[in-house]
Structure 1
Amino acid sequence: MDLKLQNKTVLVTASTGGIGLEIARSFAREGATVIINGRTEDSVAQATAQLRADLPEAKLLPLAADNGTAEGGARTIAEYPDVDILVNNLGIYENHDVFTLTDEDWQRIFDVNIQSGVRLSRHYLPGMIARNTGRVLFISSEAALTAAADMAPYSATKLMQLSISRSLAERTHGTNVTVNSLLPGSTLTPGVQELVKKVFPDDEFAVGERRFMAENRPTSIIGRLIRPQEIADFAVFICSGLAGAINGAALRVDGGIYRSAV
């Protein structure tokens, strides 16, 4: 299937690891030029080398910038003034006691999870609309719909992304530009893998994974952690030339964790 991504330039924020790296890999596999973004030149170089080892012909561009800051966002825009596709993947996932969180804690998480995507979308989306082509995708989370007591700032910001995404989509009325959000469920990132091993040190990982899901994510229909590539492939389709009718949507890839008929 041709996703019509040849000659497209894609910026995936926080793409040196986890879901972001897999999204970058899927875009590169489809022939897009992918801007690999991390906070340091070393992390960008390592991720780029990893991708090139798997995809020698991949078209990759480096971007060392902390998009969780205004300075980092300005650097991103200065280095790459125009892109065809923007994937706002940058985000902080942390557990906190909501009663001990300070104003500064809330502000830091807000700056990274919200302001990073707002700044970049504010810059890139008007150009897409003027050119009558483009895609913006916010990587949210099923936590936006299933708020947890120990993830109040994370859940709140992920829910806010859904509203921002929809508001921006309204500005694309009548164009070939789309803005959507994607809500992954519990995913097998390196950090989650280490957590499962720590909680169930005496089990083989496959057994520990099933126990973790049964005890901590009992509503999951698939009963396993989602693989990053599964998230990535869907993200790339949403941003492809075949998905022009998907706009203003909040799309769940959560394995059925969120119990809803719609």
Structure 2
Amino acid sequence: MTKNVLVTGGNRGIGFEIVKGMLSKGYKVLMGCRDEESGLEAKKQLVGGDLHVIEMPLDNETAIVDAFVRAEAVFGPIDILINNAGVLDDTPWQEVTAESLAKSMQVNVYAPLTLIQQTLPQMIERGFGRIINVSSSYGSFAEELKGPFSYAISKAAVNALTVKMAAAVDEAANGEPLDVTVNSMTPGWVHTRMGGSDAPKTPEEGADTAIWLATMEKGGPHGQFLKDRKPIDW
């Protein structure tokens, strides 16, 4: 049976390349987008494959759950969740407000949490699932969180979310073999609207590790932070 993949922020940049890569491997892909129009515009660039546009604003929990429930009712359970959507707020720390930080946290952390809460229990029940959180080395303590204030903090938080949810899977497995994995990955510095024109990596190269994690066989990485298919320090 064809597996269902949900990719948030799938209409451009790295997300678009993830969508394209998963389609090429024969998966049914749900392209999560802030608005349906931008998703349908992106879909025109993709020929063939089982692709569906899902309008899923990530700015509040209720909107996310409503969109998810509707999508699952039509297309069935999500087997692979790729939390790709993100915002980069480069406001200096002196000017950051609780409200502006909350916006970064909502899209970069709370939205992935909400979607994991919707998908992970069923993945555990079925004995299969892949969750990939697209993070950043800017959220790495090992690299001193060198990115912009709100972005670095929110990406460090999504890494913490990955660790906690991977532990939740292990606890649910209770020593039994369970083919459910949760990982973070960083695409590196990628030439996208967010990464800018000076970035050395193409969006396709940035998407590679996420696609690899999504399609790997049983026994692959779990509870890890990866770059270029290799574990890196948190």
TM-score, normalising length: structure 2: 0.87
Residue type at the aligned position of 1:45: L
State the one-letter code of the partner of 1:35: L
Q: Please report how far the alpha carbon of residue 76 of structure 1 lies from its aligned counterpart in structure 2 after TM superposition.
A: 2.4
Q: Which residue of 1 aligns with 2:173?
A: none
CA distance in structure 2 between the partners assigned to 1:115 and 1:187 by the alignment: 24
Paired residues of 1:68 and 1:115 also in contact (CA < 8 A): no
SS at match of 2:181: strand
* CA distance in structure 2 between the aligned counterparts of 1:181 and 1:230, rounded to whole angstroms: 16
CA shift, 1:243, in A, is 5.3
- Whether the 8 Å CA contact 1:135–1:179 is kept in 2: the answer is yes
In 1, Cα distance between equivalents of 2:139 and 2:228: 13
Q: Runs of 5+ in structure 1 lacking a partner? A: 1-5, 197-208, 210-223
1:234 paired with 2:231, answer no
1:43 aligned to 2:50? Answer: no
Q: Which 5+ residue runs of structure 2 have no aligned equivalent?
A: 171-176
Alpha-carbon displacement from aligned partner over 1:133-155 (angstroms, at most 9, x marks no partner):
01000000111124236x11100
Count, aligned residues: 220
> Partner of 1:148 in structure 2?
146
Correspondence 1:89-128 to 2 at 5 A: 89-128=84-123
Q: Distance in 2 between matches of 1:158 and 1:229?
A: 21
Q: Which residue of 2 aligns with 1:85?
A: 80
Equivalent residue runs for 1:87-236 within 5 Å = 87-145=82-140, 146=143, 147-148=145-146, 151-173=148-170, 174-193=177-196, 196=197, 209=198, 225-236=200-211
CA distance in 1, matches of 2:89, 2:35: 21
Instruction: Measure how far apart 1:118 and its partner are.
Output: 0.2
Greater gyration radius = 1
- State the TM-score, normalized to the length of structure 1: 0.78
**1:96-145 per-position Cα deviation (integer Å, ceiling 9, x unaligned):** 11101111101111111110000000110010000000100000011112
Alpha carbon RMSD of aligned pairs, Å? 2.1
Partner of 1:253: 228
Structure 1 position 184, deviation (Å): 2.0
State the match for 2:174 in structure 1.
none
For 1:63, the equivalent position in structure 2 comes to 54
Letter in 1 for 2:149: A
User: 1:254 Cα deviation (Å)?
Assistant: 10
Contact 2:135-2:155 at 8 Å conserved across structures: yes
Name the CA distance, whole Å, in 1 between partners of 2:45 and 2:188: 25
What does residue 216 of structure 1 align with?
none
Check whether the contact 1:137–1:239 (CA below 8 A) recurs between aligned residues.
Answer: yes
* 8 Å Cα contact 1:177-1:244 kept in structure 2: no
> What is the distance in 1 between the residues matched to 2:18 and 2:207?
4
State the AA in 1 paired with 2:87. Answer: I
Distance in 2, matches of 1:123 and 1:190, equals: 29
CA displacement at 1:234 relative to structure 2: 2.0
Q: Identity of counterpart residues, as a percentage?
A: 26
Aligned residue for 2:45, secondary structure, equals helix
